[in-house]
Structure 1
């Protein structure tokens, strides 16, 4: 039987994804390099952007340009997630070769050269910059600053047990950027939203990291999963509670009481979804960890209709 790597497919991609079925053959290695066959990461990057925009609209009112902000953030999330993953795979190519789940990725499997990956990285960054330049000055500066945590993140697992913090810094930056794109500035609401997103990232990416905990231990790669071992419960409950508390604080500081109550219902519902994940979590079951990690798309979508409701109240 031909395995996934023989066909160029990546081991942890969803079977029958659109890249493997529909994309032109020559583009597949590069789309896989950008994780286009695994869209959950794009959602996790995009959702904090939409939180920031939705909360800003609820706080100050809707403007026609907000439609472009929402669309631009979506396109930018695809491009910057792809660029970040490309950079990650360039820097991690030797590590990926040593981990069962990642050795089928395009660079370690030989589908893409490092030079080809760097060219593809440049294309994605330039396209992202073109979108960023349509926003206001504050948002542009924030977009440029976001490159700092994106650049550092792949190296974090080499020097800290908490690389998930660096992922959170990068993945939730859009909460600040989208708020600024709407309002022209920052303040406590987007900062609290950003911190709440980081706590959420610590929750879901720790679950994700448990898939590789044995391989990571063998090659000396650090993660919160290795740090917590077989008893992550207290930490995970802390991350979930921090997420709900910080997002709630962002809402309370941004909105008047009636609107805030509508938005808070969404955050509390999100909290219940995090609790549901905790009740199901078995860190020794890698397949379950992957399913729960992917369930966080739903987790992050839950607050959005309530934020929209708050804008109408």
Structure 2
């Protein structure tokens, strides 16, 4: 379990003042590394796992390690770009929320102009990585930018911005398959839909950190929409996640070891909800971060299914 963040003088925050960025990077680089969330890799993992699952599924036997490395670097860069877009668009809201007011843009460490230049640099690196893939994967990568740039606006217009995050964060389920097979097969489509409901679960947990501030400033989320019924809904989302992954394996003909290992992943999701304390900000963050272990278990299940 990841240790809880340490509150600072500005109140509850998920930014670590004593982390490796503050200890090792030059002062001029620190705000940009923080803007890209390099010190909080859970978002990169959650973006990466659908890519790796799809690569492992689509591979004839074992996933291509070069492709896994490319997608890993791509997830790191594009997650940073997505966070930069989010912080530019949400800078006024972030300044009014306890957890986010110390981020680089609302705190004045990085100007909007500097953030835009940093965004362009990240997108150029992402493009260089994307061009190493098959044409179908390149096309899907370009299309993903529409989701990256519109997702941050969804909390203004719908109670279900977590669904749009799911559409964005699980796009790699389509890209990974296309990078291997050159097209998008039915198992990849089912995996994409499954990732969406998984995201609805874990990001509703995450959104409970900010529910009081969000209600005060008029920002929408599933945490506010579902309220005290959140646990019941998340049990439903996670049940669909387990069922969807089971169907994905069935469609692809994964072997007998797939379901036993996948069941361990399902048990992890059940543990998350059963022990989750919705009004405890630290516990919300810890349960959200624990989805990294779910991602590894699903990957292990796919590989076990190919034995």
Identify the TM-score tier after normalising by the shorter chain: over 0.9
How far apart, CA to CA, are the structure 2 residues paired with 1:101 and 1:290?
11
Q: Deviations over 1:184-214 (max 9, x none)?
A: 1111100111111111111100000000000
How far apart, CA to CA, are the structure 1 residues paired with 2:226 and 2:185?
34
C-alpha contact (below 8 Å) 2:62/2:303 kept by paired residues: no
Tell me the TM-score normalised to structure 2 length.
0.94
C-alpha contact (below 8 Å) 1:10/1:105 kept by paired residues: no
Match of 1:50 in 2: 52
Match of 1:128 in 2: 126
How far apart, CA to CA, are the structure 1 residues paired with 2:227 and 2:137?
39
Question: What RMSD over aligned residues (CA atoms) do the two structures have, in Å?
Answer: 1.6
Q: Deviations over 1:245-270 (max 9, x none)?
A: 11111111012xxx332222232211
Match of 1:245 in 2: 243
Any unmatched runs of 5+ in structure 1? none
How far apart, CA to CA, are the structure 1 residues paired with 2:122 and 2:13?
24
Q: Deviations over 1:256-294 (max 9, x none)?
A: xxx332222232211100000111111111111111111
Match of 1:298 in 2: 293
Q: Structure 2 vs 1, CA of residues 106 and 249 (structure 1 numbering), >3 Å: closer, same or farther?
A: same
C-alpha contact (below 8 Å) 2:261/2:304 kept by paired residues: no
Tell me the TM-score normalised to structure 1 length.
0.92
Residue 36 of structure 2, aligned match among 27, 34, 37: 34
Residue 52 of structure 1 deviates from its aligned partner by: 0.5
Q: Deviations over 1:118-170 (max 9, x none)?
A: 00000001101101101000000010111111111100000000000010111
Q: How many residues align?
A: 301
Q: Secondary structure at the match of 1:157?
A: helix
Any unmatched runs of 5+ in structure 2? 1-6
How far apart, CA to CA, are the structure 2 residues paired with 1:13 and 1:147?
27
Q: How does 1:175-254 map to 2 (within 5 A)?
A: 175-254=173-252
Q: Secondary structure at the match of 1:302?
A: helix
How far apart, CA to CA, are the structure 2 residues paired with 1:205 and 1:215?
16
